[in-house]
Amino acid sequence: NAGVTQTPKFRILKIGQSMTLQCTQDMNHNYMYWYRQDPGMGLKLIYYSVGAGITDKGEVPNGYNVSRSTTEDFPLRLELAAPSQTSVYFCASTFPGANVLTFGAGSRLTVL
Amino acid sequence: AQRVTQPEKLLSVFKGAPVELKCNYSYSGSPELFWYVQYSRQRLQLLLRHISRESIKGFTADLNKGETSFHLKKPFAQEEDSAMYYCALAMNRDDKIIFGKGTRLHILP
């Protein structure tokens, strides 16, 4: 039982490049969330999904896109990387109404 | 607007002293509040939630709807309590879960 798995753990991107952060969970959780963690700013919600085919914007969605084609996977895409997107990204999931999040280990992204 | 406020970035407390990490929230609906903790080199994990009203690792937190607060308390700090603590608000109206900026708790020997 792996829980929430994020890949890659680390990545360096050049400005303007694109990439996808992968997130998969094996707990059959319907709800999945993406956060970014910046020093002094805490965790900010980027996007979330309450089920396959349904996604919603969070607090800081600009510059990101998501899709949810299966219950297990919730990838986060950066289309044109900018230095402001340098951060640690966390994926999390939970059952509907439970609200107790299980977090992945995080993906550290640096944009140069 | 919905908001979680943790006013202290860093809190340094001597071992054995009481600890209080402050959290205030702003939400017009029925709130559900949580404390999450991130120990060094570990994943973010749930510490406690207001509806369970239990004590975890000696920590307690009471939801005060009048003051819109959910402060985390422990009577006697231990060195292993050093970590980053986040207060979180679940908004059941739209299924969002948002976090405060976090407070780093440093327990001094």
Residues of B within 8 A of A46 (CB-CB) are none
Tokens 């966390």, located at residue: A90
> Comparing C-alpha atoms, which of A42, A86, A43, A40 is closest to residue A63?
A86
**pLDDT, average across residues A16-31:** 96
Res B68: pLDDT: 95
Res A2: pLDDT: 83
Q: Does any CB of chain B come closer than 8 Å to the CB of residue A104?
A: yes
Our CA-based measurement puts residue B76 at a distance from the nearest CA of chain A, in whole angstroms, of 26
Q: Say how far apart CA B91 and CA B84 lie, in whole Å.
A: 23
| CB spacing of B44 vs A59 below 8 angstroms | no
Share of chain A above pLDDT 70, in %: 99
Q: Say how far apart CA B101 and CA A63 lie, in whole Å.
A: 21
Instruction: Going residue by residue through chain B, which has 109 residues, state the pLDDT in tens, using 9 for 90 and above.
Output: 889 999 999 999 999 999 999 999 999 888 899 999 999 999 999 999 988 878 889 999 989 999 999 999 999 999 999 999 999 999 988 889 999 999 999 999 9
Res B17: pLDDT: 98
Res B29: pLDDT: 87
Beta bridge mates, A110: A12
Residues within 8 A of B (CB atoms), A 21-80 only: 31, 33, 35, 40-45, 48, 50, 56, 58-59
Q: Model confidence over A77-91: pLDDT tens digits?
A: 998 999 999 999 999
Res B94: pLDDT: 82
The yes-or-no verdict on residue A1 having pLDDT over 80 is no
Choice between A48 and B53, residue whose per-residue pLDDT is larger: A48
